[in-house]
């Protein structure tokens, strides 16, 4: 196995031969995962403080590169909810160009972790710390969506958690009931549509219905177009803003935060996938793939990417067993971007907020959180300390301390 440590799974599987029937299952799974990824990529970008197409670019470019080079058979790469708070903070302080450079730098840092063979150790981070971190992120993500969920007429929202909620309570009387109805309807459809069909993602059905109703009846709610304008139906040529030592120095902490979070989440996703398919991923090759994916995401103007646990699980459940599924997922998203961008701009922001509220609920791991609180005292202390640091203090500072 040692001589295959830095060989992508796709190459190994290709040499061993992939049956025609498995090709078919992978292609079908890739299409389904692409459908699931579409609203999430857009929602994650908007919640991160960047334009919606950057989420699509990340899912397409990083998703493709990660699948080609991945050390996992079934990993799906792309933007995830865990990055929202870090990315938002970087954009606020350093602008979009700063985020691009930080993503680019983080890519090389993740590659370095892989080449140093640290992937064998990163996946052993204490479980209470991971649950506290992801639960904290879930709470913060939920808090960022209140403005659009309730349709509050706010130009800007404070970054501080407590100040943010103070502003919400001060303006709750001016909520938009139509936006609230759309958001609640999205949550209900996204969480309950599986009772009608387990093949079609409820989140996609919710967004299609919400977009149709808002457009057909010209409802007074914010849409992607009203806030961001057109969604480009093309991917720009690779470009990187000017980099010098001073810029690198100012962005090294955010880049480290992105690298650590991306590395940990990608390996966790790969471990979960191994348990679902009875496989064994190559940790260090997975980190190299994630690093290269982030380098290319930065070059094409995307945001940070990592292994997406929910989309990876969707891939497995729909029959994906080789990286071909991840490649198809990226190409399918590219096709949608090229052909349907003029329609995507009509999506109401209240519906995307509903999708992210569902994402936050699933990220919260509240059952595991509850169980850890009832376990030994040290686990509970680590859990609560991590949780409150994540919610109330600077996430980039905390990530670097981890």
Rounded Cα distance between 175 and 213, Å, is 19
Are 356 and 233 in contact, with CB atoms under 8 Å apart?
no
Question: Residue 123's pLDDT is what?
Answer: 64
Give the pLDDT band (50/70/90) at residue 400: very low
* pLDDT tens-digit series, residues 115-143: 999 998 876 778 888 888 878 888 988 99
Confidence band for 397, pLDDT divided at 50, 70 and 90: very low
Using the predicted structure, report yes or no on whether residue 99 has a pLDDT greater than 60. yes
Q: Is the pLDDT of residue 401 over 60?
A: no
User: Is 233 part of any domain?
Assistant: no
pLDDT at 256 over 90: yes
Q: 361 lies in a domain?
A: yes
Establish if 182 belongs to a structural domain: yes
Angle (CA) 168 172 173, round 5°: 155
pLDDT score, position 365: 83
Q: Check pLDDT > 60 for residue 398.
A: no
- Looking only at Cα atoms, what is the longest distance across the chain? 64
Number of domains the chain is built from: 1
Helix (H) or strand (E) holding 255: helix 245-277
Q: What is the pLDDT of residue 306?
A: 96
Identify the band that residue 329 occupies on the pLDDT scale cut at 50, 70 and 90. Answer: very high
Q: How far apart are CA 86 and CA 72, in angstroms?
A: 26
Q: Which two tokens mark 4?
A: 């295959």
Q: Is the confidence at residue 371, as pLDDT, over 50?
A: yes
At residue 148, does pLDDT exceed 50?
yes
For the stretch 10-60, pLDDT in tens is 999 999 899 999 999 999 999 989 988 998 899 999 989 999 999 999 999
Average pLDDT, rounded, for the chain: 90
What does the block give as tokens for 112? 């370095």
| pLDDT tens-digit map of 47-71 | 899 999 999 999 999 999 999 999 9
- Residue 239, in any domain of the structure: no
Supply the range of the domain harboring residue 40.
Answer: 2-224+246-401
Q: Is the pLDDT of residue 393 over 50?
A: yes
d(CA 334, CA 302): 14
Average pLDDT of 68-84? 94
* Banded model confidence at residue 275, pLDDT cuts 50, 70, 90: confident
pLDDT at 394 over 70: no
């Amino acid at each position: 196995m040692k001589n295959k440590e830095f060989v992508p799974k796709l190459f190994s599987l290709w040499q061993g031969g992939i049956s025609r029937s498995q090709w078919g299952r992978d292609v079908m799974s890739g299409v389904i995962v692409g459908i699931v990824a579409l609203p999430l990529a857009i929602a994650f970008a908007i919640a991160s403080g960047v334009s919606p197409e950057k989420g699509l670019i990340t899912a397409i470019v990083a998703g493709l590169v990660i699948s080609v080079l991945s050390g996992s058979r079934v990993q799906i790469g792309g933007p995830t909810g865990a990055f929202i708070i870090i990315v938002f903070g970087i954009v606020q302080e350093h602008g979009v160009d700063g985020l691009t450079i930080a993503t680019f730098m983080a890519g090389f840092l993740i590659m370095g972790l892989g080449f140093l063979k640290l992937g064998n150790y990163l996946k052993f981070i204490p479980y209470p710390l991971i649950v506290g971190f992801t639960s904290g992120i879930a709470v913060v993500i939920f808090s960022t969506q209140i403005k659009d969920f309730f349709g509050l007429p706010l130009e800007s929202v404070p970054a501080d958690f407590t100040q943010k909620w103070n502003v919400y309570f001060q303006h709750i009387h001016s909520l938009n009931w139509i936006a609230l109805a759309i958001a609640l309807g999205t949550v209900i459809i996204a969480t309950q549509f599986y009772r009608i069909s387990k093949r079609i993602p409820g989140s996609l059905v919710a967004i299609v219905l919400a977009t149709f109703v808002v457009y057909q009846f010209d409802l007074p709610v914010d849409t992607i177009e009203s806030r961001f304008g057109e969604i480009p139906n093309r991917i720009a040529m690779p470009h990187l803003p000017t980099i010098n030592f001073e810029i690198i120095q100012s962005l090294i902490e955010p880049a480290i935060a992105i690298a650590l979070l991306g590395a940990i989440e990608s390996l966790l996703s790969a471990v979960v996938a191994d348990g679902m398919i009875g496989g064994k991923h190559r940790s260090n090759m997975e980190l190299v793939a994630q690093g290269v994916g982030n380098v290319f995401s930065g070059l094409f103007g995307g945001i940070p990417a990592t292994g997406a646990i929910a989309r990876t699980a969707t891939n497995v459940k729909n029959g994906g067993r080789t990286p071909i599924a991840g490649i198809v997922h990226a190409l399918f998203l590219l096709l949608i971007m090229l052909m349907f961008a003029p329609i995507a701009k009509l999506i109401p922001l209240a519906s995307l907020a509903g999708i992210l509220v569902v994402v936050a609920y699933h990220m919260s791991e509240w059952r595991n959180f509850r169980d850890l609180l009832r376990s030994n005292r040290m686990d509970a202390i680590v859990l609560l300390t991590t949780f409150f640091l994540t919610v109330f203090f600077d996430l980039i500072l905390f990530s670097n301390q981890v």
